[in-house]
Amino acid sequence: MRAVILAGGAGTRLRPFTTLIPKPLVPIGGRYSILEIVIMQLANAGVDHVTLAVNHLANLVAAYFGDGRRWNVKIDYSLEQSPLSTIGPLTLIKDLPENFLVMNGDILCDLNYRAFFERHVSCNADVSVAVYRREVKIDFGVLEYDQQLRVRAFREKPMYSFDVSMGIYSINRRVIETLTPAAPYGFDDLMLDGIRAGRQIVVHPFDGFWLDIGRPDDYARADEDFAQIAPRLGVPL
């Protein structure tokens, strides 16, 4: 399996941690960087070639990970000269296989990457998206009213549930071949254009452990509870 990890963001949500170091190198539990954990998990799942799409402080990322031999994977790099959003960096990689994994470099989860990838291939999907049910609390009283502005319902600080993208995808190369090389293109563009074009986009619901480390609250939880989380992630303490 081949994986592309998007590791070029500036990590503005994690400042001041990311003032001098790139977000993928922010430490977790005083033992590993975020991206190091992801690479170990991918290697354990059978990924043997990882491309890091880098931009912000790319030299530090490359100095830390080198050619990947420390994790028994081949690591190479694709450098963005300017930010290309989520999907645009893939257009710079000329040796993509027919199907490949793509993921953000700040995700901690215990998703079975091999099963996710194999399901994508068996479905002959254009794009597969791992999704997670997330609850969002509204800290206000919510009113519902009709066209005559008469109140029909009221909910005090309701909780809503949404299926959100986990930042983990499997993509068929034919999708990337339709895009303009080196042009900004986001995951939102991929979804909206794909729906309009009738592409085969499927979801992989996941109810295990998942944290978006780009969010300060999730990062704090992962850092403080790493001793309890590490076994679920399959990484040694």
User: Is the pLDDT confidence value at 103 over 90?
Assistant: yes
Mark 6-16 as b/e (b = at least 16 C-beta within 10 Å): bbbbebebbee
Q: Where are the domains of the chain?
A: 2-233
- Identify the CATH homologous superfamily for domain 2-233: Spore Coat Polysaccharide Biosynthesis Protein SpsA; Chain A (3.90.550.10)
Among 23-32, 56-65, 136-145, name the most confident range.
136-145
Mean pLDDT throughout 168-193?
97
Say if strands 159-172 and 201-206 run parallel, antiparallel, or are unpaired.
unpaired
Q: Cα–chain-centroid distance for residue 125?
A: 19
Residue type, 229: I
pTM over 0.85: yes
Residue 64 has pLDDT above 60, yes or no: yes
What pLDDT shows up at residue 9? 65
pLDDT of res. 5: 96
